[in-house]
Structure formats: C-alpha cells, structure tokens
Amino acid sequence: MKTLRLCIITAVLVMLGGALPAQQKNRSFVIKGTLTEIQEGKVFLAWQSGSKRQFDSAIVKGGKFEFKNDIYEDYLFARASLLAVTKKQIEDAVPIPMSDQNVVEVYVTPGSTTTVRGSVKLQEATVKGPKVQEEFALLEKEKQPQMSALAANGERWMQIVLAGEEGAKKDSIAFFQKRGDSIMGKINGIETAFIEKHTASLLSLQLLFNMAMISFDQHDPLTVEESLNRLTPALQNSTEGKIIRNKVITARSLVIGRPALDFNIPDTSGKPVRLSSFKGKYVLVEFWASWCGPCRAQNPHLLKAYEQFKNEKLEFVSVSIDDNRKKWMDAIHHDKLPWIQLSELKGFESAVALQYNISWIPLNFLLDPDGVIIGKDLRDGKLSEKLSEIFKTEK
C-alpha cells in the first residue's frame, strides 16, 4: 500500500495565487483545530505563496492545535495542507496509509482565521474560513464524483502498467488512458464553468494558475488567456495573473507550426548538445525521468519506433528531468535506450524544463528538418503512425 510519511508532506502541496493591496499590512493567518479522536499528537502544516514553500508543526494537546504564520510577500492567499498524526504513530514511526484520508486542504488569507474540526480522517473535517474556502468546498463537492472515478481509473491503469498486462481492450493501458482523459475533460469543464461565473473570485485565479502551471496539454493557451481576460483588472494585474500571462506566451510558442525553442544540454558524457545542431533531420524530443512510471511504460513504444525508422533522416533525443545521475544512467541501461540522452540533472528546476513549461511527463515534440513542431505528445503507436506517414510521403 502506498504510504505518506511525515518527511514527504510536500506531496500534498498545490499552487496558489493572488496579489496583496499595498495598504494591507497584516500578513498573518491563523488556523485553529479540534480533533475529537486525537488527544495527543502532532499536526504538520505545509503552505505555499508564489514560489515560497513553508512548513510548520503544532502539538495536539487535549485534542486542540493552533498555527499562526505569515503569507509570503505580495500574495493575497495561500492553499495549505494539514496532516494529523497520533502520538503513538510518531513514537512507533508508523507509515500513514493514503487511504486513511488524514490530509485536509484549506485556503488562508492575510488576517484570516480558519477553524478545522474533525477526527483521524482529517479529509472529512469541517473547515470554516474566508470566502475562497467556501467556494473551494462547493467546487470540490461538485467535482467529487468525477474525482472518485478518476482515482479508481488511475489505480487500475497503474496496476496494468506495473504488471505489464495488455490483454483485451477493456483491460488495456490505452483503454484506461482514454477513459482517464474523458473524466479529466469533465472535471476541466466543471472548473471552466466556475471561472466563467466567478470573475472576481480568488479561486478562479487559482484554477487558471493551475492550468497554466501544469496542464496546458489539456487546456488551449488561447482559451486560458481568454478566461484570464474576463477576470477583474485587480486579478489580472496580480502577481499570479502576470505569471499566468507569461506562461500563456510560452505555451503559444510551443504549438504545432511554431519553431521549437533551442537548448544546449549535456549528454551522458557531459558534452553539451544543442537542439539546433540537428537541423536537416526530423527530431523527436522526448521529456522523461527514471522515476516516472508512465515514462518508462512508453519506452518500449519508443524503442519500436526507433528500430523501425533508425535508418531514416531522424534523430531521437531524450531529455531527462532527473536530478540523480546514477538513477538516470541506470534507467537508460535497464530500458536499453540507444539514442541521445541529455539532462541538466536539476529536475523540474532545470532551464529546459522551465523553458518548455514542463510540469509533468512524459511529453514529446516531433520537429521537421527546419526545427518546426509538427507533432506533440505522440504516445503509444501514434509516433510510429506519424513517422510512417512522413517517410512514406518523402519516398
């Protein structure tokens, strides 16, 4: 069973947003809680304002705890995560199952007081706070049926990936990927409808921020920009609003028909390799990482395409989002990847990840001999199909 240990509470963080009016001086927020089934223990707090991540913990005594912290710089709100553990769990160093639902997410604003009342299953707690918290709760309730369906679909998909099953269509990886995309489409629709109806809401800004940071493969950059333009001027001109607009500009430069952004990254021997040096050939640029299960599941498809077209005017270039050289090299050797491998070994903080707005992987771009993007996110057999079309036409 997957576990959530105290040392990785960062996994429950989500991006936040907003801007602070200049006259507002109080940067602090308070979170008070009552836990009916935890008389002694600890609550861990993680919150993020812009790029600043902060952490704290509070002792639970008599079932009560309290935090008082500050929101960073000029942000109007932050989204925080709370994780509760009992004294016995701390003493015994007991792993905490994700299924225990012992995490709750809350919104805080400068000068706000948020109350949390619950039990061991903190996710079921009653939370009362600023207006954005109320809006978040209502939106989550509307999304819940689809979120449950997505979680169940993802669990089955991962079981198949790990087991290497292909079987019948209803149990295939492709089937569950397609169904997951369909469910995500419904969730995105719910969020988009919320944004259209709440143009002055901090939560609308948060949702657009998420779209810009992690999911431009599911949201057209132009659509995100149009939604941003409908928000109030105060939200558009906020720090988060400006970040969203800059991300849109980047995403619009990475669409089919635009030249790929050049980069210069070390290969496995440390020698810098420039993308533009491959002009004159078709190039597949594949973003992946050794720790990424879905990425590793795609490697057999890439190998098949590579073997089929390696004698054509084509180069494969894999760009890893790893930060550990040994794990990166071990994955290359284990998966027997014979083509060019590059990495800055800085994870998602690498220059190329920021340049290409990489927030999740796998992701790939197919370039023509002039360096223009002609394909994107070609998964499973779609890459071979696209390459077959290209080289059949050229012959």
Q: Is 343 left (phi over 0), alpha (psi -120 to 50) or beta?
A: beta
Minimum mean pLDDT range among 74-83, 144-153, 327-336, 361-370: 74-83
pLDDT in tens, 78-96: 888 898 888 887 777 766 6
Query: 43-47, 165-169, 224-228, 280-284: which has the minimum mean pLDDT?
Result: 165-169
pLDDT tens, residue by residue, 375-384? 998 988 889 9
Q: What is the DSSP letter of 201?
A: -
Q: Roughly how many angstroms between the first and final C-alpha of the chain, as a whole number?
A: 52
Q: Would you state the pLDDT for residue 4?
A: 32
Q: Which residue has the tokens 């002009």?
A: 279
Poorest-pLDDT segment among 127-131, 162-166, 239-243:
162-166
**pLDDT at residue 78, rounded to an integer:** 87
pLDDT of residue 168: 47
Domains of the chain plus CATH, in order, are 3-127 (2.60.40), 134-252 (no CATH), 264-394 (3.40.30.10)
pTM: 0.68
Pick the more confident residue, 119 or 260.
Answer: 260
**pLDDT (tens digit per residue) in 60-79:** 999 999 999 988 777 878 88
DSSP one-letter string for 9-34: GGGG---------TT----EEEEEEE
The confidence score (pLDDT) of residue 9 equals 34
Who has greater pLDDT, 66 or 216?
66
SS (H, E, C) 159-182: HHHHHCCCCCHHHCHHHHHHHHHH
